[in-house]
Each structure stands twice: as structure tokens, then as C-alpha cells.
Amino acid sequence: MLSLSGILQKSIITSANFIFYRMEKLKQCWSGLLVLAVVVIGTGAVPITYLQSAVAKGAVCLDGSAPAYHFDKGFGSGVNNWIVHMEGGGWCTDVASCNARKNTMKGSSKFMNKDFGFSGILGGKQNTNPDFYNWNRIKVRYCDGSSFTGNVEAVNPANKLFFRGARVWRAVIDDLMAKGMKNAQNAILSGCSAGALAAILHCDTFRAILPPTARVKCVSDAGYFIHGKDISGGSYIQTYYSKVVALHGSAKTLPVSCTSKMKPELCFFPQNVVPSMRTPLFVINAAFDSWQIKNVLAPTAVDKRKEWKNCKLDLKKCTAAQLKTVQGFRDQMMRALSPVHSTPSRGLFLDSCHAHCQGGSAASWSGAKGPQVANSKISQAVGNWFYGRNAFQKIDCPSPICNPTCPAISTDE
């Protein structure tokens, strides 16, 4: 039998062990919270903003939900500078494909991720994005399937699809103007892929909305879709775009300077819009754009025997004859880009990579292993051009394997 002192000693030891155990648990808990905080802060995640006020104006996603964007506020010398970057994600050409989109983040804000990590041209770190890191940086989410050009008033009760991309774009811009963009000193309208096409199509309107004293320019990253011939000798992409324009009622929102001269679907091709643009434009593109090789040169609908199935995904798997055709696609790209490199105020970074969207990640935007043309990284070329430090219109070597700085296939969006 334990003495009174023994009982007390055992009780004290037990209590001490219990306290130590609780303290260890508490320390683990705080440690976990600290790690979580570091992870969240380290990713630069920017919360989503739902533009509920736009719904009453009919400016909605395909499913009727509110449009959305992510906004990281500027600071210091960048407090009155703005970059509005539009997300990419293809198009929908008929009711079936739009119906499929409306149940995803590409057609409904209900399915969009609540936070988005900013990097590349939207990055908030000076060492990776020295010219724009402290600007007001906005990523506009893409949920209309028309490169922000749709404007159909009627809604078919059978499918309940809203084709209102142009209204979405204007509602977002108006909201940003009210939040301070009306005082902009410098501004860029940019985008990736379908969003980059939108940056070209809306560029002059963006310039007209902003203060006349502001320096305003546009940047298209992988949005220079060419009116090219496919492997059958036809132009599948023209037929594709004609369906987009017809379904979304885009004709009345495309640049009048283009639609007054040709069919509206032809005004989805930048080569037909750029000649009459008044606002300076910088084009970032791959001569062997991976999306265009797959969908402009060798679309599945045309490649009936699937002879291009492997080649269009990996140019190393192309036959000699296919590589010659791919090289011919680059020639088409060069001709389509003539309105860009024939005008001194415009910029061009055309590398020979097999890639699509190269400005969205820090690695390809400014990284040590990112693509270079004329010994310049994309971030340097765009920054120097925007601020007028140096003009930049550079075209890479002609072969898809000639530039050792080209990374593996890159698709940011």
C-alpha cells in the first residue's frame, strides 16, 4: 500500500504527464496552422469576387450565374497602374457544347475555384515580374464561350443558355473603373488563348474607356489564331468560328472596322483586325503553337484516318512529310503576322516552341529556363516595349527543334 506521500507523488507525475501531453498537442496544432498559413501565403492565392450587380444587367455566364474575377490591389508606385488579364478556355459552337460547359467553371461561376494563384505576367514578386508586380492585377474568369463577344437578348427556355460574353466584359470593366481604374496612369489589357483573342478584339474599346492621359497597351499571349489552311487544303477553323459567331450573336460586338469589310467570322482572326487597330499591341506566340497545330492545321474532324494523332501532340513523332507540312504552317503564321511586324509601335515575341500560352507561369515568363528569343525573356521584351525602353519585334529560328530554351509543351490555361 502506497503512503500518502507516494500517492501525492504519483498524482503529480500523472498531472505533469497530462500537461506535457496537452502542450505537445497544442504545439502540433499551432505548427500545423503555421505551415498552412505559409502555404496559403506562399501561393499568392487571390480570392474570387462575384459581380452580383451584373446579373440585373443581363451580364451573366452561360448558366445565368454572376461573372467573376480575382483582384490583387496595387501598391507603392503601382497603385494607379492596372493590368486586366482574361482567362482562356476555348469556345462553344452549339447548344450541346455550351450545355456541357455550363456545368463547369468555363460556363458557370458556381464551379470556379474560390482562390487563384497569380504568377507570370500577374505575379506579385519583384524578382519574377519586375515591371508589373505592384500593379493592380486582375484575372477575369472566362465563362461565356465566345471570347467575351456574345450578345443575344433572348434565352431559349428549352436550354436556358445565356450568350452574353460582351456584356460580361463591359460589366467587369465598369466595375473596375468604379474601383479606381478611372484614375489609371498605365494600363494593359491582356489574356491567354481565347482570352488573348478577346484582348485584341476589345483593345481599342478598352483604350477609349480609360483616361486619355493614360498609357494604354494590349498584350496577346497565344491568341493570334490564324486563318490557316488545314491538312485537307480547306479551312476548318473558319467554319468553326462561323458557328461561334452565329450562336453567340457576336457580329454586332466585333470591331466595326473589320465587320464593315468582311464576314463577321473572319473578324475572329487577328490578322484581319490588327491592321485597323489604333492601340499598341504586343503579340506573344509560338510559331508552332500546340493548340493551333492540333485544331487549325490537323483538326480531328479533318484527320479522318488519324494519321496526325501522334504527330500533332509531339512533333518528334512526325514523319518527314508531316514535318514539312508543319513547317508550312509556320510560313502561314509568318504571313498572318505581317500587320504586327510591319508597324513599329507593335511588339512581337515569336519563338519556335511547340507551346501555347507562355506568359502565365513565372518559369516561362521570366525563369532562367524559360524561352528566349534574341537573348531576351518574355518579361523583358514586354516590359521594355511597354515602357518604351526598347522596341521588340523578334522572330525565332525557323525549325521546331532549333531553340534550346524551348521547354516541354506548355499550356497555362
Tell me which residues are annotated as active site. Answer: 193, 289, 356
HSE-CB for 240 with a 13 A CA cutoff: 26
Sign of CA dihedral 93, 94, 99, 100: negative
Residue that is written with C-alpha cell 496577346 in the block: 220
Cβ–Cβ under 8 Å, residues 57 and 160: no
Separation between Cα atoms, residue 286 and residue 284, nearest integer Å: 7
SS3 per-residue string spanning the chain: CCCHHHHHHHHHHHHHHHHHHHHHHHHHHHHHHHHHHHHHHHHCEEEEEECHHHHHHCCCCCCCCCCEEEEECCCHHHCCEEEEEECCCCCCCCHHHHHHHCCCCCCCHHHCCCEEECCHHHCCCCCCCCCCCCCEEEEECCCCCCCCCCCCCCCCCCCCCCCCHHHHHHHHHHHHHHCCHHHCCEEEEEEECHHHHHHHHCHHHHHHHCCCCCEEEEEEECCCCCCCCCCCCCCHHHHHHHHHHHHHCHHHCCCHHHHCCCCHHHHHCHHHHHHHCCCCEEEEEECCCHHHHHHHHCCCCCCCCCCCCCCCCCHHHCCHHHHHHHHHHHHHHHHHCHHHHCCCCCEEEEECCCCECCCCCHHHHHCCCCCEECCEEHHHHHHHHHCCCCCCEEECCCCCCCCCCCCCCCECC
Cell of 402: 532549333
